[in-house]
Amino acid sequence: MTTEAAVESVGLVPLADVENNVLVEDMNYRFHYERVKKPDGNPSNYFALHYREEHQEQWSSCKNLLTNVFTVAKTEAVIAQIQASLEGTVENEHHYRSDTSVKSSFTLSGYQIDVTPESDVDLVLFKLITNIDADTEMLSTASLTFNVMNGFSGNHALSLSFGLLKTMRTQVGDDTKIIPINNVFLLDSFTKRLIHDNHLSISIEDVTNVQQAIQNRINAYKSQMFTTAIMDEIIEKLPKKFGKKFIALFDNLPEPLRNFYYVTYIFSVLLDGERNIALEIKLKSMISEMVEPLITAANTVEA
């Protein structure tokens, strides 16, 4: 049976090594895997999953079973491995659970990015999101975010994606308002699976490639307009309440800013409020399937 020491040391728990059951404690989440027995009392190759958060008394149960080929990964161990591999200090980390999935977002010291500032546009975004007119000049900073998505029921692969964090800061009366927006769409094409042959894999080269591509990705997303036809196609496939929230914000977005770059900031704000990992994965896939062919076609014409 997998020992607690083994879980703590490597952060990976192959269910094939678990004799009866194992409790995986990750951040403030608890995931309990129990091997299902056959009617004759012999162990099967399947596991039932029960989960809860630290402060919760009642367990929730996953309706699907997992096979013993599944390997559980601890999110906190994954973050520690990323930090060790890239030699940066984890900052601004926050996480949440969505059903049987966990998402952690953070920045790493030493991995700065350089993007063209756009104070006038940030004022528009700030007003759009907060419905507040800023009293003073908008100050904005940009950072690269690391976003780990971890599916504890095998519902999706353990992955690392990158985001562009825009932090807007301004004065409203006597108060300083700080609005961070983590654009999780812009760099989605650089998303990578983290486990290969039961080993975590991340390199500085992966991040360097992202850093070098950011401004080009911004320009490419800005060059593709988000038309009403595109909006209708996307909204039709999203939850109604989420779609209505998006339309309310989109209708107030000035016409010149109605491109995929600024629209994905609106979607990112809404996703941050929803904390629904399945919805984020679905929407990112939809946006990618729409915008990437447009960018490729535009690049082909220019060439």
Q: Are residues 109 and 239 in the same domain?
A: yes
Q: Torsions phi, psi of 282, nearest 5?
A: -65, -45
Segments forming the whole domain that contains residue 88: 76-302
Q: For the chain, percent helix, then strand, then coil, each to nearest 5?
A: 40, 30, 30
**Adjacent-strand bridge partners of 105:** 94, 147
What is the pLDDT, as a whole number, of residue 44? 97
Q: At what angle do helices 260-274 and 204-222 cross, to 10 degrees?
A: 120
> What whole-number distance in Å separates Cα of residue 26 and Cα of residue 53?
10
Q: Are residues 19 and 158 in the same domain?
A: no
Residues 89 and 60 in one domain: no
Contact 146, 189 (CB under 8 A): no
Q: What is the pLDDT of residues 256-300, one digit of tens each?
A: 999 999 999 999 999 999 999 999 999 999 999 999 988 887 777
Residues 37 and 130 occupy one common structural domain: no
Alpha-carbon distance of 94 to 275, in angstroms, equals 12
* Position 174, amino acid: D
In order of 29, 31, 278, the CA distances from 67 in angstroms are: 21, 15, 21
pLDDT digits (tens, 9 = 90+) for 44-85: 999 999 999 999 999 999 999 999 999 999 999 999 999 988
d(C-alpha 188, C-alpha 182), whole Å: 12
Question: Which tokens in the block code for residue 202?
Answer: 């991340």
Of 73, 99, 117, the residue at which a domain comes to its end is: 73
pTM, rounded to two decimals: 0.91
Please check whether residues 149 and 291 belong to one and the same domain.
yes
Instruction: Let me know whether 284 and 154 are in one domain.
Output: yes
**Residue 8 — very low, low, confident or very high, per pLDDT cuts 50/70/90?**
very low
Which of 23, 51, 73 terminates a domain? The answer is 73
Distance CA 85, CA 201 (A): 9
Instruction: For residue 295, give both structure tokens.
Output: 């960018």
What is the total count of domains within the chain? 2
Name the nearest CA neighbour of 186 among 115, 93, 81.
115
d(CA 114, CA 109): 14
Condensed to tens digits (0 to 9), the pLDDT of residues 129-144 reads 998 887 677 888 999 9
The Cα–Cα gap between 254 and 261 comes to 13
On whether both 296 and 172 belong to a single domain, the answer is yes
- Residue 7: the pLDDT is 39
Residues 110 and 207 in one domain: yes
181 and 65 within one domain:
no
Considering the domain architecture, whether residues 275 and 174 belong to the same structural domain is answered as yes
Which of 52, 73, 94 is a domain's end point?
Answer: 73
